[in-house]
Chain A
Amino acid sequence: MIRFILRRLLASIPVLLLVSLITFGLLWLVPGDPASMFLDAGATAEALDRVRREMGLDQPFLVRMAQWYGRVLQGDLGQSLLLNRSVAGAILERLPVTLSLTALAFVVSVMLGVAAGVLAAVRHGRLADQGMMTLALIGLSIPEFWLGLVLIWLIAVMVPIFPAGDYVAFATDPWQWAYHIALPTFSLACVQMGFVARMTRSSMLEVLGQDFIRTARAKGLPESYVVVRHGLHNAMVPIVTVMGIMVGALLGGAVVTEQVFSIPGLGRLIIGAVLSRDFPVIQGGLLFLALIYLAVNLAVDLLYAAIDPRVRLE
């Protein structure tokens, strides 16, 4: 297992280097002069010079790249052009908000999605199956930011059950946090719920058709025990493998959902930076999200290897 972990860690080094190269190269895609894109058309030559210097644009490409790597390796993502503070500081301050929203949506979508998928598989071909799968398909096809807006209209304004925003930090008041984050979580979890439900159903159907399930039933085990212990435990393996992809989708969705519900997280920071062309913040945010995603995928791979020893030999 230790050898597997070491090999997996080593394999992620080239990917990490490429990820940071892509993030750095993003600025190179800017048509024309990034500094003049950040400033207005009427900016003075001095202001342009100052921003160019702040962004390091007065240096040759390779020098800039070397400097970028040197700084990033020390955890320095540079200065925001707009916020007048360090990019890393601004990101770290907002990260917990985004991570808590993502984590909560992840738990909700896995729990409800697995439950729906198991129910559909057990009632294969019947009304409950068709109903669940129709719901899952619709969930998969709904634009999550639009669902958020509709939920605000229906469940926050028309029938005021949950608040439509006004984020409360978990540290301030856990109950208020849960109450205020309920609607964003649901609108974010919806898509992945549909996805998990469909995966669980097809995986369960495959497992439930196998010989050891028939044996378990023939032994006289109660049906619920067969479905959960023998069925679900084996059916979860393919679901674990896609958990990494799910977290990526949820992180991306969280960025947009924060915008709808005015939640002060990483997403609002990045989108604010996007709209004001604050390039260092865009780059820093991208790099951070990619690092989180890579770390999650590493954890998923290790978890997978722990569940299924055959993986370690590949």
Chain B
Amino acid sequence: MSAAAHTATTVAPPPSSRHLAFLRRLLANRSFTIGLVLVGAVVLMALLANLIAPFDPLKGNFKARMVPPGAGHWLGTDHFGRDILSRILHGAQVSLRIGFLVALFTAVAGAVIGATAGYFRYADGPVMRLMDAFMAFPPIILAIAISAVLGASVTNVVIALAIAATPHTARVVRASVMVVREMEYVEAARALGAGHARILLRHVLANAMAPLVVRVTYVFAIAILNEAVLSFIGVGPPPPTPTFGAIIANGRDFIVAAPWITVAPGMAILVSVLGLNMLGDGLRDVLDPRMAVTTR
């Protein structure tokens, strides 16, 4: 690390080779590569759902209700005769999109709020008390309540989950911004006459990114888990939209007669979340080795 910093002061290597070196370190990390393969596989299946799903995920077939896994239906069918594999593939589309949008919104909101609190001292107290108040609610309960109040739709689920995940993210950004704020290069930039906006964007946030990237990867995983909870409870995207949680909710009453309806989508959640968690662990090891394990 110090060697790299040293070369940077004398002859800065071209950016492309720095990025390559970083990529090489990431790919050498076992957790990151396994995570990348798992997430890549799930994303690929979601993207290709329209092409590879053997059946229409929404169309029932009353002649083929609750068919166990076998040749015709690889993962069986539900009580409407809908093909579970097709529903999971299309469900992955919806669930991953929700997870991605939540991660994106949380990253932006967390960066803005965290940077404001960490950089401007007068804003720190009020902003962080407000975040503390939001963090006083168990995140999933807050998401359930917001989603229930706004009404069930994909957009509202994204809003609810993003609100629930933002306070913790803002706190992570604030902590790293407060460290970077005191760095000499920030003082140098100020001495050169740079304004707050330039210092914040070019110097402070750029150097405080690492913990945010790691946190957002975990937020993606948490969002997939929590979307499943919302759908399971009945405040997720309205039926017949297939999501991982909605398929499980459908299978719940048939857990004894037709366990495949419930088991398969849960495995899909497990693989997606496991992959994202491993990606996050790998990113953390490479970007920010000192950061502690994060929680849900």
Chain A interface (Cβ < 8 Å from any Cβ of B): 14-15, 18-19, 21-22, 26-27, 29-31, 137-138, 140-143, 145-147, 149-150, 152-153, 157, 191, 195, 198-199, 202, 238, 242, 245-246, 248-249, 251-253, 255-256, 259, 270-271, 274-275, 277, 279, 282, 285-286, 289-290, 293-294, 297
B137 and A293 contact, CB distance less than 8 A: yes
Chosen A-B contacts, 29 in total, with CB atoms closer than 8 Å, are A19-B133, A22-B137, A26-B146, A29-B150, A137-B278, A141-B277, A149-B248, A149-B262, A149-B266, A150-B259, A153-B255, A153-B256, A153-B263, A157-B255, A246-B295, A248-B138, A248-B139, A249-B138, A252-B138, A252-B139, A256-B229, A274-B148, A275-B148, A275-B235, A277-B148, A285-B141, A289-B137, A293-B136, A294-B136
B248 and A146 contact, CB distance less than 8 A: yes
B232 interfacial by beta-carbon distance below 8 Å = yes
A15 and B151 contact, CB distance less than 8 A: no
Given A153-B256, A153-B262, A249-B138 in contact, is the A146-B228 Cβ separation under 8 Å? Answer: yes
B221 interfacial by beta-carbon distance below 8 Å = yes
A26 and B270 contact, CB distance less than 8 A: no
Q: Which residues of A contact B251 (CB under 8 A)?
A: 149
A252-B139, A259-B233 given; name 15 further pairs at CB < 8 Å: A21-B133, A29-B149, A140-B296, A141-B274, A142-B270, A146-B248, A199-B292, A246-B295, A252-B141, A255-B138, A259-B232, A270-B141, A275-B148, A282-B148, A297-B136
Q: Which residues of B contact A137 (CB under 8 A)?
A: 274, 277-278, 281
Total A-B contacts with CB atoms under 8 angstroms apart: 151
Complex CA–CA separation, A157 to B258 (angstroms): 13
B144 and A251 contact, CB distance less than 8 A: no
Residue in A closest to B138 when the chains form the complex, CB atoms: A252
Given A26-B149, A150-B262, A249-B296 in contact, is the A145-B136 Cβ separation under 8 Å? Answer: no
Complex CA–CA separation, A229 to B141 (angstroms): 39
A84 CB to closest chain B CB (Å) equals 21
Q: Which residues of A contact B148 (CB under 8 A)?
A: 274-275, 277, 282
A275 and B234 contact, CB distance less than 8 A: yes
Q: Which residues of A contact B270 (CB under 8 A)?
A: 138, 141-143
Complex CA–CA separation, A18 to B128 (angstroms): 11
B138 and A31 contact, CB distance less than 8 A: no
B274 and A138 contact, CB distance less than 8 A: yes
B252 interfacial by beta-carbon distance below 8 Å = yes
B269 interfacial by beta-carbon distance below 8 Å = yes
Interface string of B169-190 (1 = CB under 8 A from A): 0000000000000000000000
Restricting to B233-282, which residues have a CB under 8 Å from any CB of A? 233-235, 245, 248, 251-252, 255-256, 259, 262-263, 266, 269-270, 273-274, 277-278, 281
B192 interfacial by beta-carbon distance below 8 Å = no
Complex CA–CA separation, A277 to B235 (angstroms): 11
Q: Which 6 interchain pairs have the tightest Cβ spacing? A: A252-B138, A18-B133, A146-B266, A252-B140, A274-B148, A141-B273
B121 CB to closest chain A CB (Å) equals 17
B238 CB to closest chain A CB (Å) equals 13
B6 interfacial by beta-carbon distance below 8 Å = no
B30 CB to closest chain A CB (Å) equals 11
Complex CA–CA separation, A248 to B132 (angstroms): 13
B293 interfacial by beta-carbon distance below 8 Å = yes
Q: Which residues of B contact A279 (CB under 8 A)?
A: 149
Given A141-B277, A149-B262 in contact, is the A289-B138 Cβ separation under 8 Å? Answer: yes
A131 CB to closest chain B CB (Å) equals 15
B21 interfacial by beta-carbon distance below 8 Å = no
Q: Which residues of A contact B296 (CB under 8 A)?
A: 140, 191, 195, 249
